[in-house]
Amino acid sequence: MTINSANAGNGVSRPAASNGASNGTNGGVNGGGSTPLCRPTADGSRYELTSATALPKAGAFLWNQQMMIQVTCRGYATAQFMQPEPAKYMHAPNLEARTFMQPEQNYYAHHPGRFVYVKDEETSEIFSAPFEPVRAKPDKFIFSAGKSDVRWTVENLGLRVELRLVIPTHDVAELWTVDVTNLTERPRRISVYPYFPFGYMSWMNQSAEWRSDLCGVVASSITPYQKAEDYFKNKLLKDRSYFLCETPPTAWEAMQGAFEGEGGLHAPSAIVDNEELGRSDARYETPTAAVQYRLSLTPSSSHTLRFLLGPALDDEEIKTMKTRYLSKGGFARCAADYAEYIAKGTGCLQISTPDAALDNFVNHWLPRQCYYHGDVNRLTTDPQTRNYLQDNMGMTYIASGVSRRAFLIALAQQEASGAMPDGILLAEGAELKYINQIPHTDHCVWLPVVLEAYLSETADYALLAEKVTDHTGHEASVFQRIGRAVDWLLSARDERGLSYIAQGDWCDPMNMVGYKGKGGG
């Protein structure tokens, strides 16, 4: 496993690039055939991909306990945050079905993303970074997945564009740095267009406008509702999305249709057919955030731009976030704090073997993956019981106190029969949803499995005597509750002694084999 894709649904996350790929060479968009396609950095803390086309779904992810963002090497992005249920601040261009964060999903031209167009004003040539939507062949491409940030380096038309993404430790926001460098020995006149589409936010109400007082584009919407009681509940939702600029741009565009025009995203009419963006607002039209900087670069000179993206309840929250983060110092503090936060997931195991790729995986990326799963519980208020237990089993080797608390939280929701519920409720008002409304029978299996791992690592046998009170007020020790769970498993068997599967997926291909009340495994 090299560059990680996160999966917040059933099962564990899967790699976007396998270790085998690291032995290949890049014969793709970069031209030459001698550059390794995938490679770790010297200290192993980053993994780099040198082609935008060889592994187009390769991605990286960042998270905190309030949000997660998954970005691909080509610039597509999926982000969710908790309020307290999962929500989005950047949307697809059409109505979306609510689902968990999926790895290596299919992408399309208008999929949400974070893009930067660059136009040579002398020749009118354009390209985009990281790669989408223009897909111009770069002279150099590096996608660098770090533990606490994500970076891209793209060279084209004698220019270098460097992108960096960082997120805060606690707040929901994206901090984007764009560095543009003139690689030639002549002055250059260029336009740089960050393009961050908000997408189709709501069929009830959506808009976006340039706010000079905030120096950014602010999109507003109303989360759709059809029940009167939902109106009052939705009033507390963060239905605004903002894209703020540290330095005022030359021009902007807030209407998706006006930006794209007839040229399509690979050649937007607002860029190709005009010297400056149109400065129009979106009123019920699909909103977007596109800004333009007209720059004059001397030979070998660089220009840095910083942007802040995220959701907000109101203007006051936007102002607070701007003051807190949108400056050179604010970005530096955020990056340092987040790196410290991620470093807490280093883990307790370091190996040194003849296989350098295995060492890199185990020492750097495996503990990070375990930390993610145990830290945020897949960004849901009702994680599936088996997932909750599995994820916190991994935390035994990262932060065992988290595993201990999770074990007690799960046992407190045990049913009187000894069975475990299909999901563990983590927030007030949370309800069992989706897959957790489907009967599963294997959750109890994971209690002794997780307990064995925890005790082997910590020797915390005092846990067995800890008293746990369930929702009915009944008190029993951890040891007693584990025994009841095993007794329930023994009782839920067919005439052959096999456990009933019910409608859940002990093994995905066997889903639904027990819906008639028979069928075991």
Which amino acid is present at 205?
N
Catalytic residue among 213, 230, 239, 508: 508
Contact between 400 and 454 under an 8 Å Cβ cutoff? The reply is yes
Instruction: Let me know if 494 is a catalytic residue.
Output: no
Contact between 503 and 518 under an 8 Å Cβ cutoff? The reply is no
* CB-count exposure of residue 300 (10 Å: 0-12, 13-18, 19+): exposed
Count Cα atoms within 13 angstroms, Cβ side, for 223.
21
Instruction: Name the helix (H) or strand (E) containing 161.
Output: strand 159-166
Q: Which long-range contacts (CB under 8 A, 24 or more apart) does 419-422 make?
A: 419/443, 419/444, 419/485, 419/488, 419/492, 420/385, 420/444, 420/447, 420/485, 421/385, 422/384, 422/385, 422/504
CA distance 369 to 391: 10
Query: Which among 216, 217, 200, 199 has a CA at the least distance from the CA of 208?
Result: 217
For residue 128, give Cα distances in angstroms to 113, 132, 271: 12, 6, 12
**Radius of gyration of the chain, Cα coordinates, nearest whole angstrom:** 25
Q: Classify 392 as helix, strand or coil.
A: helix
Q: Could you tell me where the DSSP H helices lie in 344-444? A: 356-360, 366-376, 385-394, 400-411
Contact between 379 and 86 under an 8 Å Cβ cutoff? The reply is yes
Please enumerate in sequence order all residues whose Cβ is within 8 A of that of 312, keeping only pairs 6 or more positions apart, or say none.
Answer: 238, 240, 241, 242, 318, 321
Q: Classify 103 as helix, strand or coil.
A: coil
Query: Which among 77, 84, 80, 81 has a CA at the least distance from the CA of 66?
Result: 81
For residue 327, give Cα distances in angstroms to 321, 332, 393: 11, 9, 40
**DSSP-assigned beta bridge partners for residue 155:** 140, 160
What amino acid positions are annotated as catalytic residues?
508
